[in-house]
A and B are shown apart, each in its own frame.
Chain A
């Protein structure tokens, strides 16, 4: 069964450093998303991406964050200068279209720890 894959599974970084979280969405999907979940809290939407541009972003997704689809298979989330409060699980998701009856497929997540 096709799945969304994320690497690395765990990333430790020093405060102020840049990190790139990588995702390979399901191959025929067109819509891509990043969500995050701080330990013990809700899953929060960050950004959606379609046709090589951001479709929607939340208030969390400020200038420190950026997304890119550098080739036909990868989808990345970059945090330019990490803060302690960026420590969270980051989930990538993809869907074949954006209709309200469409399911999203999530990866297993990258645990980001900022020290």
Chain B
């Protein structure tokens, strides 16, 4: 899987929007951009994924740059429960035939009450 770069940590005030960036300059045309998060002492949890177009779901929005070399996960109103490590992962199962998710260090999001 292609490599992603994320800030080690970010802070947000509760009820404010949060923009979590991810750079993936070596992304290939068939890589999907996935975001997972891991709350303290829990397993990873799927958040959202996309290929080219921006995506929205009940948890978050994913904004993908036109050249696809970067993306931003947007939490519209951070809550204390959103404090977690957020992982940006590229996945090209069709190309490399790999089933696995390759987790990096992610971004640790702290939410301040």
Residues of A within 8 A of B69 (CB): none
Chain B interface: which of A12-20, A43-51, A70-78, A79-87? A43-51
Residues A101 and B32 in contact, CB atoms below 8 Å apart: yes
Bound CA–CA A102/B34 (angstroms): 9
Give A98 to B93 CA distance when docked, in angstroms: 7
The smallest beta-carbon distance between A95 and chain B, in angstroms, is: 8
Task: Please give, as numbers and ranges, the residues of chain B lying within 8 Å of A27 by CB-CB distance.
Answer: none
8 Å CB contact of A100 from B44, B45, B87, B94 = B94
A101 pairs with B49, CB closer than 8 A: yes
Q: How far is the CA of A98 from the CA of B42 in the complex (A)?
A: 23
Closest to B102 in A: A45
Q: Within residues 75 to 100 of chain B, which ones have a CB less than 8 A from any CB in chain A?
A: 87, 91-94, 98-100
Task: Verify if B74 is at the interface (C-beta below 8 Å from A).
Answer: no
Asked if B42 and A100 sit within 8 Å, CB to CB, the answer is no
Q: Looking across the interface, which residue of chain A has its beta carbon closest to that of B44?
A: A106
B92 engages A42 (CB within 8 Å): no
**A109 touching B43 in the complex, CB below 8 Å, given contacts A31-B99, A99-B94, A100-B30:** yes
Q: Inside 8 A of A48's CB, which chain B residues have their CB?
A: 99-100
* Chain A residues in 8 Å Cβ range of B100: 33, 45, 48, 56, 58
- Contact flag A103-B42 (CB < 8 Å), given A33-B100, A42-B104: no
How far is A80 from B23 in the complex, measured between Cα atoms in Å? 40
Q: Chain A residues with Cβ under 8 A from B31's Cβ?
A: 100
How long is the Cα–Cα vector from A50 to B38 in the complex, in angstroms? 25
- Whole-angstrom distance from the CB of B12 to the nearest CB of chain A? 23
Among B45, B46, B98, B99, residue most surrounded by chain A Cβ atoms (within 10 Å)? B99
Residue pair B101, A104 in contact (C-beta under 8 Å) = yes
Q: Which B residues are in CB contact (< 8 Å) with A25?
A: none
Closest beta carbon of chain B to A6's beta carbon, Å: 8
* Closest residue of A by beta carbon distance from B99: A48
B51 touches A101 (CB 8 A): yes
Q: Is the CB of A107 within 8 A of B43?
A: yes
- CA distance in complex: A80, B32 (Å): 36
Question: Could you list which residues of chain A lie within 8 angstroms of chain B, going by C-beta atoms?
Answer: 4, 31, 33, 35, 42-45, 48, 50, 55-56, 58, 91, 93, 98-109
